[in-house]
Structure 1
Amino acid sequence: MARQTSTVSGVWKKDSVKDVAESVGIANLPDEVAGALAGDVEYRLWEIIEESMKFMRHARRTRLKVEDVDQALKVRNLEPLWGFASSSQMPFKKTVTATGTVYHVEDEEVDLSKVIKTEIPSVPRDISFTAHWLAIEGVQPLIKENPTPQELARYAPKPASTALIPSASSAAGQPPSAVTPLVKHVLSRELQLYFTRLVDALGAGTQGATESSSEVREAALGSVRHDPGLHQLVPYLIAWGGEQIANNLHDLPALQRALDLFHAMLENPTLFVEPYLHQLTPPILTCLLTSALPPVPSDTYPSPPTIRTLAASLLHLLLERHAYAYPSLLPRVTKTLLRGLAGENRGLGARWGAARGLSGIVVGVGAEPATGGTGGGNKAVREWIGGGLKPLGEMIEREDETYEGERQDVVREIFNVLKESVLSLPSSADSSAPRPPLSDLTDRYGSLFASTIEAQWEQGGRDVHHAVAGIQQQLEQEDAEAEAEGEDEGDAEGDEDEEDEEDGGAMEE
């Protein structure tokens, strides 16, 4: 059975295609070709109509206009309509030819005499590059490449409006003082909403933490840790975290959330926290050195040692990144930790936190290379703790324990700091030297540290003993040299006085 040809029926008929083909000189166009062209023409027309309706809907109209069709044709890179109320508004002219009537746009007549008399524009210069000084030591030279002083004055920012406030000096005939109002830091609506959502997420589960609130907090901290567009929120986040620490010393989960926020901010490489170190360091030191953390059972999380360990790691990260740019930061933090370690009535928890903070300073940031027989570590920690173990042990013995074994934990942490800060070189300590009796160690270091050094003699106690002895000898030698210098200066002054007396006697004679 022979296959029948399918007939294509649509709005655009193939007879219309044949008429157009005959008008351009194509005669006897096959029916198959005319039908295919008719279908393609109809498809193109539907495309233009749909595109035109989009412009109509965007213009909030229900009636299609010629302008919509013009815009649709421009989008499709087609020629606009001619002869209608299009944007071109070009008049058409009717001309009768041998093939029929033709409508066309009248060509513009050009006067050749005017074109010949018109001056030809000059040939543009070739592209070239030249170098000049934009500014020399902050001052722009007066050359043609730089703006003139008049142009700079025209585009200079206007000074802030000042308010004249009369004072006591104005009553005496002096002019009133001008006060410039403070410029407010304006946050966008999106950042304000983000800050509100972030604070709510970090504060979620205050009355009772749940699994969902923990997931929300982790997502919020992950956003702070990786989001590159939070630089304007840095002062607000630091202020919120500091307020949480100052007002919630009795709430360990709140302290942990604030410290986690600070840690996430320091891990974000796009946040610039250096201008706010003076606001970021005190809350961290508060968590380390405060004695107001409530005692909780050993199986509770978070516990005070957990909070102090988290604050210590955060302090070490902050010093590691910014101590070299700010030379006074490390000495001030070290002095604060030493006062927290050896101050009166500090509490065992505060002393343990101070020792944990010092452990990162003497090993990481600020650690000095091991030289001679004194080893590496921080010099201030090495000289202070090494010479004051006995009074420090007596103060620790007077503190009350909140749980059994807390005093030993503090002594063990201080011993680790001491071992890391005054650790001698392997060649400086004689491994064959006998261990001193416990009574001698007690006279020098006190009962607490003497028992610890004796118990860990092979695990660093020998090095600590030799290093402390070397430090004490060095201090005694420096004191002796200072006394000798003082005596020499006194003798020199006495000799000068005797010479003056002799000169005076000679002049009298």
Structure 2
Amino acid sequence: MDSTKIPLSHTLWSPHDTVKDAAESLGVNLPEEAAKNLAMDVEYRIHEILETAIKFMRHSKRKLLMTSDINYALKMLNIEPLYGYDISQPLNFKEALVGAGGQTLYYVDDHEIEFEKLINQELPKVPRQTSYTAHWLAIEGVQPMISQNPLPSEIKALPPIIRGATSSILGTDILNGVSEKDSKGSAGGSNAGSANGAANGSTGKKEKEVEVKPLVKHVLSKELQLYFDKVAEVLVSTDPEKESLKYAALTSLKNDPGLHQLVPYFIQFAAEQITNQLRNIEILSTMLEVISALVENKTIFLDPYVHALMPCILTLLLAKRIGPVIKETSSSSDEVIFETLQKQLAVREFAAILLQHIIKVYGSSYSTLMPRVTRTLLRALLDSTKPIGTHYGALLGLQNMGNEVIKLVLVGNLKMWSKSVIENEDKNEREREILLNTTLDTLRNLKVQATGEEKSGEDGMDIDSDSEIPDDIKEKLSDRLGDLLANFILEQKDAKEIVRGIFFGELNV
């Protein structure tokens, strides 16, 4: 066996003629030994790249080796990757004879492009810059008809499970069975008489026109759920050591952005606590603070939830009983009863302030909000069967509604209210004093100072700042408010300004 004979190999690179041919095409003359060593090294590198690429293929759970596996292998081996390798078009191999022996060589035909043709070719269009636009996907559950949103026909074409229709829950067979029964019933009714048949026909049309809205689930993240659970736990806690945590929770509700998804849950939580904890003054005060924090949070849009907030506030303002029930067992219990009553009245005062703020902020959005609340407060005020707390809350609510409501609504009903409530024998002296002082504070909002033009008039009812109120004006005041309220007002130092405000525009007082 000739020792100079180069051993054959199963790769394209050995015998080393391929290396020598590539070197000659570049104008390099390689000796036999150098071409042999270079061919062996290239063979080793190709084996290494293929083995690494096969590992990527197996980790990808595939049995087909792809060009991406080769690229990952080149990156892993710190070899410059192949650029411009396009696999979208098939490779065209051409055959050529090389050498005197006529050895066949296959090569990829490169498409030649003329330089003048490339210069004269039109430039491609400049791509548009990336931009972002916003649109309403849904407004309060109603999808607007805009180009960005899908058409109703496209939504109906989707499967019921994807679009969330109730038919996917009930089943189409049940709905079809109900419609068939209705159609049979209407057909039987038509045989009984023409009138019944017409009626059944109209109801059948109405049932066909009814559209079932899809059920939309409100999905909360785990972070928001955890936040709500922790805040709710702290707010209802009676542990004095958690007062700082309660203050931190209220501060968070007042200032933190990103709580809009939790607004309906906090309102429902406050409503449930107010309904179930009417005997716990601390819980009621905390719930009012929660509502106040939500209202003061500038990042929360509360307009859709005003209808849910009003029952909570009006309940604490007009409820019959707030706080624990204390039985009178001894003479020393009067002070305890008075302190409990003061705490109850403080809760009603807080509720009245919140009511005033909500009407001031959201009254322009809901035109019927102020008239409906005024009607509710007046109805509670004129009900003589209600306790002092309800009358006190109604007075505070009307007082915070503005001077127009006091003048037009309250003043005209004070005489009847005084006879049925204040002069009632069931009220003790302390309760009468509270109601009289509250009424006086309400009427003081109408005070009008005397001016130079009002000191003289044609009806003879004018008074100056130093004179006393004439008897005829006192009689008119008694006719307007009742004897008890009129005498109580006349005893005050600012009685002239109060009377002048009550009769403002009617008499020159």
1:431 to 443, 465, 478: 465
1:472 positional shift: 7.0
Q: 2:277 aligns with which of 248, 259, 262?
A: 248
**Where do 1:401-412 residues align within 5 Å?**
401=427, 405-412=430-437
- Code of the residue aligned with 1:171 in structure 2: it is K
Map 1:411-450 to 2 at 5 A.
411-421=436-446, 423=448, 426=451, 428=454, 430-436=464-470, 440=475, 442=478, 445-450=481-486
What residue identity is the alignment partner of 2:182?
S
Counterpart in the other structure of 2:249 = 220
Aligned with residue 299 of structure 2, among 267, 270, 284:
270
Map of 2:41 onto structure 1:
none
Q: How many residue pairs were aligned?
A: 346
State the secondary structure of the residue aligned to 1:237: helix
Show the 5 A alignment for 1:379-394. Answer: 380-394=405-419
Q: What does the per-residue CA deviation read over 1:149-187, in whole Å, with 9 as the maximum and x for residues that have no partner?
A: 999987999454335261551433698867735322222
Q: Given the alignment, which residue of 337, 340, 353 partners 2:377?
A: 337
Alignment counterpart, residue 114 of structure 2, candidates 103, 116, 119: 116
In structure 1, runs of 5+ residues without a counterpart are 1-58, 60-69, 91-108, 141-145, 363-376, 475-509
8 A Cα contact 1:345 1:399, kept in partner: no
Q: CA deviation at 1:193?
A: 1.8
Among 343, 347, 351, which residue is 1:311 paired with?
Answer: 351
Aligned partners of 2:278 and 2:389: how far apart in 1? Answer: 13
The 1:274/1:411 distance shift into structure 2, 3 A limit, reads same
Q: Return the match for 2:78 from 74, 78, 81.
A: 81
Once residues 290 and 126 of structure 1 are traced to their aligned partners in structure 2, the CA distance between those partners, rounded to angstroms, is 70
Q: Distance in 2 between matches of 1:276 and 1:410?
A: 33
CA distance in 1: counterparts of 2:450 and 2:151, whole angstroms: 69
Q: 1:169 aligns with which of 165, 173, 182?
A: 182
Equivalences for residues 467-486 of structure 1 within 5 A: 467-469=501-503
State the alpha-carbon separation in 2 of the partners of residues 305 and 400 from structure 1.
19
Residue 189 of structure 1, CA deviation: 2.1
Are the aligned partners of 2:447 and 2:500 in contact in 1 as well (CA < 8 Å)? no
2: CA distance, partners of 1:184 / 1:288: 34
Q: Which residue of 2 aligns with 1:320?
A: 360
Structure 2 CA distance for partners of 1:443 and 1:273, relative to 1, 3 Å = closer
Structure 2 CA distance, aligned partners of 1:361 and 1:254? 26
Instruction: Give CA deviations for 1:25-44 in whole Å, capped at 9, x if unaligned.
Output: xxxxxxxxxxxxxxxxxxxx
- Secondary structure, aligned partner of 1:398: coil
How far the C-alpha of 1:421 sits from its partner, in A, is 4.0
Contact 2:316–2:348 (CA<8 Å) still a contact in 1? yes
Task: Name the CA shift for 1:155/1:337 in 2 (closer, same or farther; >3 Å).
Answer: closer
Report the TM-score, using the length of structure 1 for normalisation: 0.57
Instruction: Give the corresponding residue for 1:360.
Output: 400
Give the alignment's Cα RMSD to 1 decimal: 4.3
Given the superposition, is the C-alpha separation of residues 299 and 408 from structure 1 closer, same or farther in structure 2, using an over 3 Å criterion? closer
Name which of 219, 229, 232 aligns with 1:199: 232
- The answer as to whether partners of 1:252 and 1:302 remain within 8 angstroms in 2 is no
CA separation of 1:321/1:439 partners in 2, compared to 1, >3 Å: closer, same or farther? closer
Shift in CA distance, 439/116, structure 1 to aligned 2, threshold 3 Å: closer
1:234-266 deviation line (CA, Å, top 9, x unaligned): 111111111111222121111111111111100
Retained in 2: the 8 A contact 1:252–1:304? yes
Please state how far the C-alpha of 1:307 moved relative to its aligned partner: 0.5
Kindly indicate whether the alpha-carbon contact (under 8 Å) linking 1:291 and 1:350 is maintained by their aligned counterparts in 2.
Answer: yes
Equivalent residue, structure 2, for 1:462: 496
- Say which SS state the counterpart of residue 303 (structure 1) adopts: helix
Q: Go from structure 1 to structure 2 and tell me whether the alpha carbon gap of 1:253 and 1:124 turns closer, same or farther (over 3 Å shift).
A: same
Alignment check: 8 A CA contact 2:145 2:151 kept: no
- Structure 1 residue 185 corresponds to structure 2 residue 218: yes
- Separation in 2, partners of 1:301, 1:408: 13
1:448-498: CA deviations, max 9, x gaps?
312321121x32x22332444457779xxxxxxxxxxxxxxxxxxxxxxxx
Name structure 2 gaps, 5 residues minimum.
Answer: 1-58, 60-70, 86-106, 136-143, 188-200, 327-335, 456-463
Question: For the residues of structure 2 that align with 1:157 and 1:212, how far apart are their CA atoms?
Answer: 59
Q: Residue 114 of structure 1: SS of its match in structure 2?
A: coil
Aligned to 1:346: 386
Identity within the alignment, %: 30
Could you tell me how far apart the structure 1 residues matched to 2:235 and 2:432 are?
34
The CA distance in 2 between the partners of 1:344 and 1:261, in whole Å, is 32
Q: Could you tell me which amino acid in structure 2 is paired with residue 319 of structure 1? A: I
Preserved contact between residue 287 and residue 311 of structure 1 (Cα < 8 Å): yes
Q: Take 2:481 and 2:254, find their aligned partners in 1: how far apart are those partners?
A: 46
Cα separation, 2, equivalents of 1:278 and 1:218: 27
* Residues 439-448 or 349-358, more deviating: 439-448
- SS of alignment partner, residue 228 of structure 1: coil
| Aligned partners of 1:222 and 1:264 also within 8 Å | yes
